Amino acid sequence: MNATSRAILQTVLSTDPSLSPVEQNTVRDLIEGRTEAKGEQVSFDGEHLLISQKRAASLLDVSRVTIWRMTKESILHPVEVIPGTWRYPCDEILAIARQGTGAGAVASGDRQRSAA
């Protein structure tokens, strides 16, 4: 990690009171160079986590276009964090992933119901 990135993370750590203890520890680990690949596993400790469209697509094993369609069909409910930047609630994505039916089936099932 370069010096600028390290300085930014240290500033965030010292000035952002909204960081949870888990997030604080993660930032400290990054600053100290302790990174471990966790694969596709997502830990959810009950806090409201937001993830990118790309990450949501990866977790559901669908394309980003499918995520966009699911959003358009009100299956997913993204949050605009800054103008033009949207994130998806992790709990919502994980709930769909746990259904085991596949996000494509969820999206097409809603389309078929609305067409009837």
Q: What distance separates the 2 farthest-apart alpha carbons in the chain?
A: 58
* Same-domain check for residues 110 and 62: yes
For the stretch 9-53, pLDDT in tens is 889 888 888 888 888 888 888 888 776 645 445 555 455 578 889
* Same-domain check for residues 57 and 110: yes
Give the structural domain span for 109.
50-115
* Same-domain check for residues 28 and 74: no
In this prediction, residue 35 carries a pLDDT of: 67
- Number of structural domains, the chain? 2
Mean pLDDT of all residues belonging to the chain: 77
Alpha-carbon distances, residue 84 vs 4, 79, 106 (angstroms): 26, 10, 26
State the pLDDT confidence band at 101, using cuts at 50, 70 and 90: low
In this prediction, residue 46 carries a pLDDT of: 54
Confirm whether 23 is domain-assigned: yes
Please report, for the domain that includes residue 78, its CATH number.
Answer: 1.10.1660
Whether residue 115 is predicted with pLDDT greater than 50 in this model: the reply is no
